[in-house]
Chains A and B, each alone.
Chain A
């Protein structure tokens, strides 16, 4: 295939996968580069999705497999974009494939190595609440289903190598560098989480029963570290009172980011409803600033939480969370403006909803691609009004959360949109050449 009809997609989350599939399904050759060992992005970590309550892995896993099977898509996982030269229609991208220390062709994903590996480390997929081995797949539905050795934690005992019937373990594997010729590039690198530890008044990192929402999401998931049971990390007890705190680090000029992450009010509502499904006796409070109900079906979803699940929405952001060191119980202090008094409430678990922020790595990526960042670190649209996916570099497009806060459907829409722009630009160039 001609290089101009090839596309490099950077980021294998829902946006990157959708852009890849749209282009591949119409005949473009796609190279999908993903930094981590598996594609799938953030959606694989979620239990359910709002407001439809679809099981997240159930709707995203088929997409991951579709990417794997599509003959027009080449998956480059555990790989990084290092250098780009050229211009629209003829970019050359240098990719660095990090060593998995596993021969991908040989590994069958049988898992015998993982069973025998003696090293246990905190599992990133479960936000550190679960464990994995030093030779691991990030999740059971990993695509591709190829193991990776985490050399930082590996003891090099060689057990995996001994046990592997496929002879796939290669301790001497080196990073590989290679070049790709592509016509266009789509960037879909998503977000990372604001470090809730920096808001020390909430005690995250100090108090065991203060969690961040993605940890709680893993706890809700039947495939998560607690098998879908909601428990207090301090004593394993089922909580009777849970409070969510919104806007941890978001909409804040001091010690945070100024923007709204667009998804927290709704996922907190979702998690609240799920709590009531798991533990009907549990009381749930959501402390919020402005309830963001702007999307399709959102207000009805909040009404369902209020009316059917008795979730209490409190318009106040607590100033402080205090722990009773004996019991692990937590007290939230907040200002009740209607009575102009400071009130407190005692709960078993606090779930913080941290800001979803642009990846710190965007800076390096932007400099590799020659892209501009906005003042908050998002990749910048050339014209946010009428050309939201175009950047200052012709032929390079952005979509999903790296372009600005948004939820899953909006990321999917943008991914298709960026794919359309990539196809359009190539068609226009071909038209000009023909003239």
Chain B
């Protein structure tokens, strides 16, 4: 970390970013620079076209050195994306990174007040003044060091969980797979052939299951569920329970959620459950797998059954179009004379080779009818125990009525019932669609916001085998990083209890969403720093004001608020 500065006389540097024209096109940045120079303890202020460019960063470093700055403010965009960068820049030159403060004059100012440049300039000055008020009170902070146990818990023994486990185990990490069913393999146990390679699911599965069982670094716990998880990255303690009630504990460093998904049972839709010859794609897979599909004269497949709804399950389940195409092709290869219709809304044949499947199906005579959400098909009893399917062709606006021996419903993957339990136990969120929600949709697709916990496979969102496998390898990389590094630094912005003021009422213990506060033997609240996320809930709720949030002290926040109204 280098030499800790911060106790000397205050010398604040303010770096104001134009962000191209994002800020500079609205806010008069040179005026804000001039203004910043007039603020107390500000020794240096300058502007930069892009403070985050390597040129901008080297200017920060140079001027920290040149003017011996001991507090640094960057007035630019959001700390969400850029604070780590500027903090690291300070650290490189030996300034404790907690002596850095960020002022957001883009999202909070230039973007919001695009059409009022003068007022925006005034507001940017206010925001900078507030940041200076806080920076004057900043204290250097030390980050506690954590050791990482080089072992992982993988929740779920399907294809995703097993792939991630093998990859980690091969790298020398110990892996515990916890699977609630009696057998490994998950959904693939029920499938016949997989797209895009048309390999038998059982073949691929057997190979990988054998490899998992043979790997000395992997412990497999089937018929086992999670009971409790305590701790934090590098130091989780897990309690699991076997079907016979027996429990066991493991110490682990990282957790991978690979719990998979359920297939929607379309009860009450299109006569499912009422007519025997209305089945799901999953039922069809089973018939194909067991070789029990008798030749139908005509098959009608209906897509988007219970997905892409107007309300409720609005999402597309991604795999159904390809599953339907694949099963249609397999059926055509068995029974070339069978008529197959696929009633679809938008065919999800994305990627390099999925469109080939559409052509393969068309070449085999599979027929496609597009329908609209507003006019879904109808399935009613027909003659001789057959079914009648009526559909409005969305492109021709024609009503088409046909009879059918078999109606196959393509239903979506849905989150499992018990996902909520996992979500609560691990304190990781579920999204609006019910699936686990990653830390950042674009750039952190398999990390959770909580360090040391990751997600892959259909627990994250519907996806096919190869996509699940991709994520499983991805997760293996992410989880391997802390385990390979062995030591981590944790966040310094944590709660601090003033033992003299604490009355031991226990409010903070109850309210902490991370279980980071305990009462010690004297009945006084104690914060487990590495578990604390610095959310501030405890500080706000403490009736005695005995809890201070490091880096967000009452004094700092009040100073900022007073500066906002011009009283500093």
Chain B residues positioned under 8 Å from A385 (CB to CB): 194, 196-197, 199, 204, 465-466, 469
Are the C-beta atoms of B442 and A52 separated by less than 8 Å? yes
Are the C-beta atoms of A424 and B53 separated by less than 8 Å? no
Are the C-beta atoms of A258 and B356 separated by less than 8 Å? yes
**Of A65, A409, A416, which one neighbours B441 at CB under 8 angstroms?**
A409
Is residue B395 contacting chain A, with contact meaning CB distance below 8 A? yes
Chain B residues positioned under 8 Å from A227 (CB to CB): 21, 25
**Of A49, A54, A141, A223, which one neighbours B21 at CB under 8 angstroms?**
A223
Are the C-beta atoms of B52 and A59 separated by less than 8 Å? no
Are the C-beta atoms of A414 and B470 separated by less than 8 Å? yes
The answer to whether A388 and B469 touch (CB under 8 A), given A145-B54, A260-B354, A337-B395, is yes
Is residue B323 contacting chain A, with contact meaning CB distance below 8 A? no
B-facing mask of A381-404, CB < 8 A → 1, else 0? Answer: 001111111000000000000001
**Nearest Cβ in chain A — how far from B149, in angstroms?**
16
Complex Cα spacing A409 to B432, Å: 19
Which of A79-87, A212-220, A291-299 touches B? A291-299
Complex Cα spacing A213 to B278, Å: 44
The answer to whether A52 and B315 touch (CB under 8 A), given A145-B53, A291-B346, is no
Chain A residues positioned under 8 Å from B275 (CB to CB): none
Is residue A203 contacting chain B, with contact meaning CB distance below 8 A? no
Chain A residues positioned under 8 Å from B446 (CB to CB): 413, 416
Is residue A161 contacting chain B, with contact meaning CB distance below 8 A? no
Chain B residues positioned under 8 Å from A27 (CB to CB): 484-485
Complex Cα spacing A144 to B461, Å: 37
**Nearest Cβ in chain A — how far from B275, in angstroms?**
29
Nearest A residue (CB) for B475: A416
**Of A339, A420, A431, which one neighbours B473 at CB under 8 angstroms?**
A420
Complex Cα spacing A54 to B444, Å: 13
The answer to whether A293 and B346 touch (CB under 8 A), given A299-B308, A404-B351, A413-B471, is yes
Within 8 A of A (CB), among B439-496: 440-446, 460-461, 465-467, 469-478, 480-481, 484-485
**Nearest Cβ in chain B — how far from A129, in angstroms?**
15
The answer to whether A404 and B353 touch (CB under 8 A), given A62-B81, A294-B318, A384-B466, is yes
Chain B residues positioned under 8 Å from A299 (CB to CB): 308, 314-316
Complex Cα spacing A59 to B316, Å: 27
Is residue B170 contacting chain A, with contact meaning CB distance below 8 A? yes
Chain B residues positioned under 8 Å from A374 (CB to CB): 352-353
**Of A66, A294, A315, which one neighbours B348 at CB under 8 angstroms?**
A294
Are the C-beta atoms of B351 and A427 separated by less than 8 Å? no
The answer to whether A404 and B352 touch (CB under 8 A), given A52-B442, A416-B477, A419-B477, is yes
**Of A69, A140, A383, A384, which one neighbours B53 at CB under 8 angstroms?**
A140
Are the C-beta atoms of B443 and A59 separated by less than 8 Å? yes
Is residue B118 contacting chain A, with contact meaning CB distance below 8 A? no
Is residue A222 contacting chain B, with contact meaning CB distance below 8 A? yes
Is residue A327 contacting chain B, with contact meaning CB distance below 8 A? no
Is residue A208 contacting chain B, with contact meaning CB distance below 8 A? no
Which of B82-90, B177-185, B265-273, B506-514 touches A? B82-90
**Nearest Cβ in chain A — how far from B27, in angstroms?**
13
Are the C-beta atoms of B442 and A140 separated by less than 8 Å? no
Is residue B49 contacting chain A, with contact meaning CB distance below 8 A? yes
Are the C-beta atoms of A141 and B481 separated by less than 8 Å? no
- Which of A51, A63, A388, A427 has the most C-beta atoms of chain B within 10 angstroms of its own C-beta? A427
**Nearest Cβ in chain A — how far from B207, in angstroms?**
8
Are the C-beta atoms of B466 and A424 separated by less than 8 Å? no
**Of A54, A68, A259, which one neighbours B442 at CB under 8 angstroms?**
A54
The answer to whether A290 and B348 touch (CB under 8 A), given A416-B474, A420-B167, is yes
Chain A residues positioned under 8 Å from B338 (CB to CB): none
Chain A residues positioned under 8 Å from B348 (CB to CB): 290, 292-294
Are the C-beta atoms of B477 and A22 separated by less than 8 Å? yes
Is residue A13 contacting chain B, with contact meaning CB distance below 8 A? no
Are the C-beta atoms of A300 and B314 separated by less than 8 Å? yes
Chain B residues positioned under 8 Å from A293 (CB to CB): 308, 316, 346, 348
**Nearest Cβ in chain A — how far from B89, in angstroms?**
9
Are the C-beta atoms of B52 and A141 separated by less than 8 Å? yes
- Which of A14, A49, A299 has the most C-beta atoms of chain B within 10 angstroms of its own C-beta? A299
Within 8 A of A (CB), among B291-318: 308, 314-316, 318
Are the C-beta atoms of A386 and B474 separated by less than 8 Å? no
Chain A residues positioned under 8 Å from B352 (CB to CB): 259, 374, 376, 378, 404-405
Complex Cα spacing A420 to B396, Å: 50
**Of A14, A140, A423, which one neighbours B50 at CB under 8 angstroms?**
A140
Complex Cα spacing A144 to B57, Å: 12
Complex Cα spacing A378 to B442, Å: 23
Complex Cα spacing A217 to B92, Å: 36
Nearest B residue (CB) for A60: B443
B-facing mask of A74-112, CB < 8 A → 1, else 0? Answer: 000000000000000000000000000000000011100
Are the C-beta atoms of B78 and A303 separated by less than 8 Å? no
The answer to whether A58 and B78 touch (CB under 8 A), given A409-B441, A420-B167, A421-B167, is yes
Complex Cα spacing A389 to B316, Å: 26
Are the C-beta atoms of A68 and B350 separated by less than 8 Å? no
**Of A52, A65, A140, A315, which one neighbours B395 at CB under 8 angstroms?**
A315
Chain B residues positioned under 8 Å from A143 (CB to CB): 54
Chain B residues positioned under 8 Å from A408 (CB to CB): 442-443
**Of B199, B347, B431, which one neighbours A290 at CB under 8 angstroms?**
B347
Within 8 A of A (CB), among B156-170: 163, 167, 170
Are the C-beta atoms of B478 and A416 separated by less than 8 Å? yes
Chain B residues positioned under 8 Å from A60 (CB to CB): 443
- Which of A227, A262, A387, A412 has the most C-beta atoms of chain B within 10 angstroms of its own C-beta? A412
Complex Cα spacing A385 to B198, Å: 9
Are the C-beta atoms of B485 and A26 separated by less than 8 Å? yes
Are the C-beta atoms of B355 and A337 separated by less than 8 Å? no
Are the C-beta atoms of A58 and B77 separated by less than 8 Å? yes
Complex Cα spacing A419 to B208, Å: 20
Chain B residues positioned under 8 Å from A262 (CB to CB): 350-351
A-facing mask of B59-102, CB < 8 A → 1, else 0? Answer: 00000000000000000011001101100100010000000000
Complex Cα spacing A297 to B466, Å: 20
Nearest B residue (CB) for A377: B352
**Nearest Cβ in chain B — how far from A25, in angstroms?**
5
**Of B54, B370, B474, which one neighbours A413 at CB under 8 angstroms?**
B474
Is residue B22 contacting chain A, with contact meaning CB distance below 8 A? yes
Are the C-beta atoms of A338 and B442 separated by less than 8 Å? no
**Nearest Cβ in chain B — how far from A137, in angstroms?**
9
Are the C-beta atoms of A337 and B396 separated by less than 8 Å? yes
Complex Cα spacing A372 to B58, Å: 44
A-facing mask of B338-367, CB < 8 A → 1, else 0? Answer: 000000001111111111100100000000
B-facing mask of A278-301, CB < 8 A → 1, else 0? Answer: 000000000000111111111110
Chain A residues positioned under 8 Å from B54 (CB to CB): 65, 68, 109, 142-145
> Chain B interface (Cβ within 8 Å of chain A)?
20-22, 25, 49-50, 52-55, 57-58, 77-78, 81-82, 84-85, 88, 92, 163, 167, 170-172, 194, 196-197, 199, 204, 208, 308, 314-316, 318, 346-356, 359, 370, 394-397, 431-433, 435, 440-446, 460-461, 465-467, 469-478, 480-481, 484-485
> Chain A interface (Cβ within 8 Å of chain B)?
14, 18, 22, 25-27, 49, 51-52, 54, 58-63, 65-66, 68-69, 108-110, 140-145, 222-223, 227-228, 251, 258-260, 262, 290-300, 303, 315, 337-340, 374, 376, 378, 383-389, 404-406, 408-410, 412-421, 423-424, 427-428, 431
**For the complex of A and B, 10 pairs with smallest distance between CB atoms:** A417-B473, A404-B352, A420-B477, A416-B474, A223-B20, A26-B484, A416-B477, A337-B395, A409-B445, A290-B346
15 contacts between A and B (CB under 8 A): A26-B480, A26-B484, A61-B52, A69-B92, A141-B52, A292-B348, A292-B350, A296-B315, A296-B441, A374-B353, A376-B352, A386-B163, A412-B445, A413-B446, A417-B472
